[in-house]
Amino acid sequence: MLENLQAQAPDALLALIKMHAEDPRENKIDLGVGVYRTNDGATPVFRSIKEAEQKLIDEQDSKSYLGPEGDTGFTAALMPFIFGEDATMGGRIEGMQTPGGTGAVRLAVALAQQAGVTRIHMGTPSWPNHAQILADVGMDIAPFNHATKDGSADLDAVLDAIRNAKPTDAVLLHGCCHNPTGVDYTTGEWDKIASALADAGVLPILDVAYHGLGQGLDEDIAGVRAVLAAVPEALIAYSCDKNFGLYRDRVGAFYMMAKEPNQLDAIVSNANSLARANWSMPPDHGGAAVRHVLCDDTLTGEWLDELTEMRERMRRVRERLAAADNEVPGLNLAALAEQNGLFAMLPLTKDQIAKLREDHAVYMAGSGRINVAGLHAGNTDKFIAALADVTQG
């Protein structure tokens, strides 16, 4: 049977990582893979997580099974950061742990399908795995344009998609730090989206993978909260892999907001059985470490400082690139200062991206996406000069 399988195209980003690793040039720049990097180009374990892991090792007395919902202390400890003071919205929200934000997105889409959703509206471009998950679950995709050429969000496109949605449609939105464009909706735009969702009665699926890496923890989640305040029900996928630096430990959470508290048990039981059939239970370690951080004021303070340091560093890189707008006309680098998170999309041609790699050892995704955290004081000027070189004429 297995000989029936056709070879799949290799993941383009993984191929890029390999090419970068094999490049002997010393001053090569990696803007491909989507992880945070310090000024030294490292992706270290957070200090707060290291301490939490030590506590975990000292205190953990069993590794016996939990359940499909994972570490409920972890999902509960995160809730005030996501949902605010009334973290359950009057008993209408419950969460479960998932293998990364990917697991949470997968569960959200599968649960929506189980509830009767057949099509999901999605802004494009998006994180490539969104389309892959939707296709794998068997969901139709209705794309709409996410960003305009001037580097802001295409509000008309998302509002049109919501207003024209059928009752069995859902809408997938990035909570903050849009991947790959960095273009987020403003507070005023989120308010309009929230009321359009409420008027149309369309189920929102909110994907939050970079909380705290844009403008601040509260600022980054304000749009999600505006939606939740306006609509009767929603699904929220959350990743701790970036904002706690836990990437390979696969730490995510999935929250369900029901119209009425008494509907929640039935909804959660469906998510539980879907999780059971997919991965049975999420990996424990990373979620337990996050719980230790969030249940200890000193460690929470340390984590908040680390998050602030990361966010401010990325803002400085964005500002430096924006200041070079005149040096590289046509790329609208100025817009980068207004955008958020790890990513930005540069309107470069395939040839220009290849020239950056071949002539300047600058590695970036074929879509023109760059990871701004791959830049620092030691390589940003070189990157700007390389951009000027490949775009001139």
- Annotated catalytic sites, by residue? 127, 207, 242
Q: Which is nearer to ligand PMP, 68 or 252 (CB)?
A: 252
CA nearest to 313, candidates 224, 375, 379, 262: 375
Task: Give the shortest CB-162-to-ligand PMP separation in angstroms.
Answer: 19
Q: Which is nearer to ligand PMP, 102 or 380 (CB)?
A: 102
**Which residue in the block uniquely carries the two structure tokens 């496109």?**
157
| b/e sequence 78-115, b meaning 16+ C-beta within 10 Å | bbebbbeeebbbeebbbbbbbbbbbbbbbbbbbbbbee
What CA–CA distance (Å, rounded) separates 166 from 157?
16
Q: Which is nearer to ligand PMP, 207 or 284 (CB)?
A: 207
Residue with nearest beta carbon to ligand PMP: 100
What CA–CA distance (Å, rounded) separates 161 from 175?
17
CA nearest to 100, candidates 291, 232, 7, 238: 238
CB-side exposure of 96: number of CA atoms within 13 Å? 29
CA nearest to 109, candidates 139, 68, 69: 139
Element (H, E) at 47: helix 47-59
Q: Which is nearer to ligand PMP, 69 or 207 (CB)?
A: 207
Q: Which is nearer to ligand PMP, 182 or 258 (CB)?
A: 182
CB-side exposure of 102: number of CA atoms within 13 Å? 17
Residues at the interface with ligand PMP (CB under 6 A):
34, 100-102, 105, 127, 174, 179, 207, 209, 239, 241, 252
Q: Which is nearer to ligand PMP, 174 or 360 (CB)?
A: 174
Task: Give the shortest CB-81-to-ligand PMP separation in angstroms.
Answer: 16
CA nearest to 276, candidates 117, 94, 100, 98: 98
Task: Give the shortest CB-180-to-ligand PMP separation in angstroms.
Answer: 8
- 119 forms bridges with which residues in the sheet? 140, 169
Helix axis angle for 100-114 and 264-278, nearest 10°, is 120
- Ramachandran class of 212: left when φ > 0, alpha when ψ lies in -120 to 50, beta otherwise: left
**Distance separating the N- and C-terminal Cα atoms of the chain:** 54
Task: Give the shortest CB-115-to-ligand PMP separation in angstroms.
Answer: 21
Say if residues 214 and 184 touch (Cβ distance below 8 Å). Answer: yes
Task: Give the shortest CB-381-to-ligand PMP separation in angstroms.
Answer: 28
Task: Give the shortest CB-339-to-ligand PMP separation in angstroms.
Answer: 15
Q: Which is nearer to ligand PMP, 220 or 241 (CB)?
A: 241
Task: Give the shortest CB-37-to-ligand PMP separation in angstroms.
Answer: 15
What CA–CA distance (Å, rounded) separates 210 from 332?
24
Q: Which is nearer to ligand PMP, 69 or 241 (CB)?
A: 241
Say if residues 160 and 144 touch (Cβ distance below 8 Å). Answer: yes
**Which residue in the block uniquely carries the two structure tokens 């929470």?**
300
- CA of residue 208 relative to chain centroid, distance: 5
Task: Give the shortest CB-122-to-ligand PMP separation in angstroms.
Answer: 11
